[in-house]
Chains A and B, each alone.
Chain A
C-alpha cells in the first residue's frame, strides 16, 4: 500500500482545507450572488425570479446613489487629512526626542480599540447641547457647531473621527518609511544649500511614495466599508448625508428583507470599488510628487 502522500502530491493535500474553505466561502458566495441578483428573496419564503427588475431598480434608486457619493465624500475628506496629519507627526517623532516610545504608544492607542468604542465616545463629544466640544467652543465664545445634526457637518465629523482613530497606524508606517531614507541624501542636499522645505519636497516625499501609496490603498479599502459609525451615531441622517453604501445595503437586506436587491447593490458597489482601486493603482503609482 502506497502512502497517500505518494499518490497525491503533499502540497496539494496540505492545501485541501484551504481549497475547501475557498470553495464554500468564496466561490459559492460569488456564484450565488450572481444568481441572487436576478431574484427576489426574503429568506423566509421561496426565491422568486424577477429578471432584470433589481438592475432597473438600482439605476433609479437615488438613495443608493447618494450613499455611494457619501462614501466618496468620506474618503475625499478623510484620506488627505489623515496623510497630512500622519506625515506631520511622523516627522516630529523621527527627530531626536526622549520618550518617543511613550508618544508612539499613545498615538497608536485609538487604532487597536474597537470602532464601537470610538463611535460611542464621539457621539457624546459631538452632542450639540451637552457635548464637550460644544461646551468648550461656547465658553471660548465661538458658538456651537452642529456636528451631527447638520447635513454639511455630519459626514465631516465622521471623517474627523475616523482620522483620529486611524492616524496612529499611519504615523507608524510613515516613521518606518522615513527611517529608510538614507541620510546621505539629506546631507548632500544641505551641502548644496537646499532649505528644509526643499528637502522635504524633493527628497522626503518622493522617497515616501511607496508608503503613501500603501496608506492610500489601505484607507480606501477601509473607507468603503464604512458602517458601524453611521449605524450607531446617526442612523444615516441627517437627511441621508451619512448613509454609507454598506449601511444602506445592510438595511435593505436585513431590515427590509430584500436580499436580491441588496445583492445587486452589493455587486454594483463592488464593481465601483474594483474600478477605483485599479485607477488608483495606475494613477498614484505613476505620480511621483
Chain B
C-alpha cells in the first residue's frame, strides 16, 4: 500500500478514535444551547456545567471511594494471587491439582448465576452500603492466580532449593526471591485488576444505595440516567469527562505497561 494512503487511513482512524473525546472536552465548556452546534469551539466559554456537577453530586467523594476500593482490591488480588499462585505452582500438597482445576472452573461459570446469591450474602453480612461490600467479593480472583502460577512455573528450581536450604520460610521465598523476578506479571495483574475494578459499575449499582458511598462510575451513570442533572447535556458530559480523566492520565503515563499487560493477558487466555 502506498505510504501516503497508509498514513491517510491511519490518521482518519486516529480522528475517529480521538475526535469524540475532543468533542466531549469542548462541549463541557459550552452552555447547553450551544452543544448541538457543529462548531467545535464554544462561542461562550462557561464553567456552569462543572458547577452543576459539583453542586449536585459529591463527585470528589465518588473518586475517593473508587480510589479506596480499587486500590484495596488491587493490593489484595496481587498479594493473595501471588501467594495462591505460588502454592499451586511450587509446592506439592494433596488436592493441589484438584483445587487448581476448581479455580479454572470458576472462570467459566458466568457471573449471572452468582450475582444474586452473592448479593444476598452481602446483605446477610450487613455489608450493603459499605465499601467492604465492594471489596470483599473480588479480593481474590482465579485469573490472577492463573497468571501468577504460569509465571512462577518458569522460575528455575535451583533458586528455590537454595533458598530453602538457607532456612527461608515459604512466604520468604515468595516475597524475596520469586516476586522480584516476576515484575512483569505483577505489573500485569495490578494494571488489569485496577482498570477492571475501577470501571466496574453493575456490582456497585446493586450493593450501594447511599450516594456518599458510591463509586465514581456509578455516580456518573446515575447522574446521566436519573433526573439529577436536570437533563443538562453539558453537565452529563462534564461528569463523564471527570470520570475519564484519572484513567486517561494514568494511561498516558503508564502507556507501555497498560498495553503490554492487556495484550499478554489476551494471549494467555
Contacts and interface: CB of A to CB of B under 8 A. Distances in A.
Interface stretch (A30-38, A51-59, A74-82, A185-193): A30-38
Question: What class of interface size applies to chain A in its complex with B?
Answer: 35 or more
Given A10-B170, A14-B91, A109-B248, A250 B103 contact: no
B117 A132 contact: no
B110 interface: yes
Interface string A96-125: 010001111111111111111101111111
Contact of B7 (A97, A225, A274): A97
Contacts of B165: none
A227 B95 contact: no
Contact of A112 (B123, B206, B251): B251
Most buried by A among B106, B220, B221: B221
B15 to A, nearest CB: 9
B184 interface: no
Nearest to A18: B84
A109 B258 CA distance: 10
A29 B113 contact: yes
A95 B2 CA distance: 11
Given A25-B121, A116-B221, A218-B269, A135 B17 contact: no
A159 interface: no
B115 interface: yes
Contacts of A169: 262-263, 266
Interface in A113-145: 113-117, 119-125, 129-132, 135-136, 139
A139 B12 CA distance: 20
Nearest to B36: A130
Interface string B199-238: 1011001100000000001001100110000000100110
A33 B88 CA distance: 29
Nearest to B18: A106
Interface string A204-228: 0000000100110110010011011
Contacts of A249: 112, 115
Contacts of B123: 43
Given A26-B106, A228-B201, A270-B113, A114 B267 contact: no
B267 A33 contact: no
Contact of A172 (B118, B240, B248, B263): B263
Contact of A114 (B86, B103, B243): B243
A236 interface: no
B83 interface: yes
B187 interface: no
A131 B17 CA distance: 17
A214 B266 contact: yes
Contacts of A9: 91-94
A59 B266 CA distance: 36
A14 B237 contact: no
B116 A253 contact: yes
A21 B139 contact: yes
B117 A107 contact: no
Contacts of A28: 117, 121
Contact of B84 (A15, A102, A245): A15
B237 to A, nearest CB: 7
A232 B225 CA distance: 6
B12 to A, nearest CB: 11
Nearest to B195: A112
B108 A277 contact: yes
B86 A14 contact: yes
Contact of B114 (A25, A89, A95, A105): A25
A231 B221 contact: yes
B17 A164 contact: yes
B87 A11 contact: yes
B237 A124 contact: yes
B233 A108 contact: no
A92 B9 contact: yes
Interface of A: 5, 9-12, 14-15, 17-19, 21-22, 24-26, 28-30, 32-33, 36, 43, 89, 92-93, 95, 97, 101-117, 119-125, 129-132, 135-136, 139, 164, 168-169, 172-173, 176, 211, 214-215, 217-218, 221, 224-225, 227-228, 231-232, 245-246, 249-250, 253-254, 259, 262-263, 266-267, 269-270, 273-274, 277
9 contacts: A14-B83, A25-B137, A29-B121, A112-B195, A114-B243, A117-B240, A225-B112, A246-B112, A266-B113
Given A10-B170, A22-B140, A29-B118, 14 more contacts: A14-B84, A15-B84, A18-B84, A25-B136, A28-B121, A29-B117, A43-B123, A105-B252, A109-B248, A109-B251, A124-B27, A124-B237, A169-B266, A173-B267
